[in-house]
């Protein structure tokens, strides 16, 4: 019989080993007062368990393996961190196990102690061919169970994404303004052009742009030039001006432009062309001194709503190509995307960094007050019966899908556990 060790964790944690009197492999009577807390870090699987073994109370840790010999395979016999294990819970007891001081560890064998249908239910769940394992059952799960777990997952997502922020912050020697500039540039590229926008931010430090804040033409020249869009010939005045400015600034700052080939235009709406995104990003840079400080202190975040974009882009999606009725302002969907994936993230990351819970609360409130995103994944969960009414919930669903459902971690999921646990 094959199943993951996590299934035994599930059996132990929720005491699903039947109502029969428990005995160790050597005949000691065992009563479980407290199974212990699951340990997500290195060390024994369950911490601070409380057991009664032959009328003696024991408080310590519990280690779980499919086979008792896995203790040796994992080299626990050389680790003093496992000397406080008071019970070894296994499916098969194929070898006696001792602590480093030579004393034998009591063993509880779970083979034949839990109903086969429990394992069958679990296997049906993780081997499901649906969009996600519990697609057919999630509609039956209590709303409180789902919402409670999604809160945990949403925070987990913010914490995981904050690690990316801290990594970049370390690379940039603790400069929060420059770090924010990198992330918001990446966000402006949306999905297809996020990498080129990040490359652009790395090749054109914010400190250079700051020296030209009062000259919008030079800001635009630096961004378009560094992005590689000014290496061609132009017939119109505006791009010709940009090219002249960039040629001067390029020599002054010893800049090397990116290859224009890195930018993606195919399978994209003209409103999302990187040229228009760069024009909008330039307007944001011109319009916002100390953007990171503004994000941290201002509570309405409406500085994304109306940007002073050069009038050239009202009739162009690309240089040298005329168009009509071009919508130059950021769309509502794009603004929400920036607020969710950059502004809220930095409020959370910075709040944790300086231990300021007010900023963390603002980050969560911002997502709770924004509408849920729309995509294929979220539609699948909504169609199955999950309620997704805010960006906070949609972000948690996306994290749930990637790190739990796709990985078949139903035993680590509050929703999966509710489905798997026998109902009284």
Q: Token pair of 178, please?
A: 């420059």
C-alpha angle with apex 208: 207 to 210, nearest 5 degrees? Answer: 65
Instruction: Check: CB of residue 13 under 8 Å from CB of residue 35.
Output: yes
DSSP-derived secondary structure for 154-204: HHHHHHHHHHHHHHHHHHTTT-HHHHHHHHHHHHHTTTTTHHHHHHHHHHS
DSSP string, 65-112: EEETTHHHHTTGGG-GGGTTEEEEEEEE--S--B-TTSPBPPEEE-TT
- Chain center to CA of 335: 20
| Residue 424 pLDDT | 67
* Backbone φ and ψ of 52, nearest 5°: -115, 115
The model's pLDDT over 389-424, given as tens digits with 9 standing for 90+, comes to 999 999 999 999 999 999 999 999 999 999 999 876
- Residue pair 230/243 in contact (Cβ under 8 Å)? The answer is yes
Q: Which DSSP letter does residue 113 get?
A: S
Residues of the chain with pLDDT under 50: none
- What pLDDT sits at residue 1? 59
The most distant pair of C-alpha atoms in the chain lies apart, rounded to whole Å, by 93
pLDDT recorded at residue 251: 96
Beta strand 37-38 pairing with 321-322: unpaired
Task: Determine the pLDDT at residue 279.
Answer: 95
CA 349 – CA 391 distance, rounded (Å): 18
Give the per-residue pLDDT at 200.
97
Q: Please tell me the predicted confidence (pLDDT) of residue 236.
A: 93
């Amino acid at each position: 019989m094959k199943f993951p060790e996590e299934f035994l964790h599930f059996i132990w944690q929720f005491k699903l080993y039947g109502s029969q009197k428990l005995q160790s492999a050597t005949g000691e009577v065992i009563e479980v007062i407290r199974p212990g807390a699951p340990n997500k870090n290195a060390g024994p699987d369950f911490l601070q368990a409380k057991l009664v073994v032959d009328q003696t109370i024991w408080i310590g840790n519990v280690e779980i393996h499919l086979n008792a010999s896995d203790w040796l395979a994992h080299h626990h016999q050389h680790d003093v961190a496992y000397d406080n294990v008071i019970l070894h819970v296994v499916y098969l007891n194929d070898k006696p196990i001792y602590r480093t001081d030579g004393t034998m560890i009591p063993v509880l064998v779970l083979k034949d102690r839990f109903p086969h249908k429990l394992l069958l239910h679990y296997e049906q769940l993780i081997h499901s061919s649906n969009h996600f394992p519990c697609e057919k059952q999630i509609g039956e799960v209590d709303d409180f169970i789902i919402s409670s777990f999604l809160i945990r997952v949403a925070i987990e997502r913010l914490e995981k994404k904050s690690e990316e922020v801290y990594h970049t912050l370390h690379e940039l020697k603790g400069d929060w303004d420059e770090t924010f500039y990198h992330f918001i540039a990446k966000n402006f590229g949306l999905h297809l052009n996020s990498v080129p926008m990040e490359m652009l931010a790395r090749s054109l430090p914010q400190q250079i742009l700051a020296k030209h804040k009062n000259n919008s033409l030079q800001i635009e020249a630096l961004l378009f030039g560094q992005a590689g869009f000014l290496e061609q010939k132009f017939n119109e005045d505006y791009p010709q001006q940009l090219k002249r400015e960039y040629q001067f600034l390029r020599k002054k700052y010893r800049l090397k432009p990116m290859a224009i080939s890195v930018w993606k235009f195919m399978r994209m709406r003209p409103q999302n062309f990187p040229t228009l995104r760069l024009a909008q990003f330039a307007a944001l840079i011109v319009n916002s001194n100390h953007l990171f400080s503004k994000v941290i202190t201002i509570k309405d975040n409406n500085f994304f709503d109306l940007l002073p974009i050069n009038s050239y882009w009202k009739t162009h999606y690309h240089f040298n190509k005329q168009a009509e009725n071009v919508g130059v302002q950021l769309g509502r969907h794009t603004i929400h995307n920036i607020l969710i994936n950059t502004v809220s993230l930095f409020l959370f990351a910075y709040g944790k960094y300086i231990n300021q819970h007010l900023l963390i609360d603002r980050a969560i409130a911002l997502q709770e007050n924004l509408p849920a995103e729309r995509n294929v994944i979220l539609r699948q969960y909504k169609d199955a019966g999950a309620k997704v009414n805010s960006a906070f919930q949609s972000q948690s669903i996306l994290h749930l899908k990637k790190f739990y459902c796709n990985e078949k971690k139903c035993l680590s999921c509050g929703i999966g556990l509710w489905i798997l646990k026998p109902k009284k």
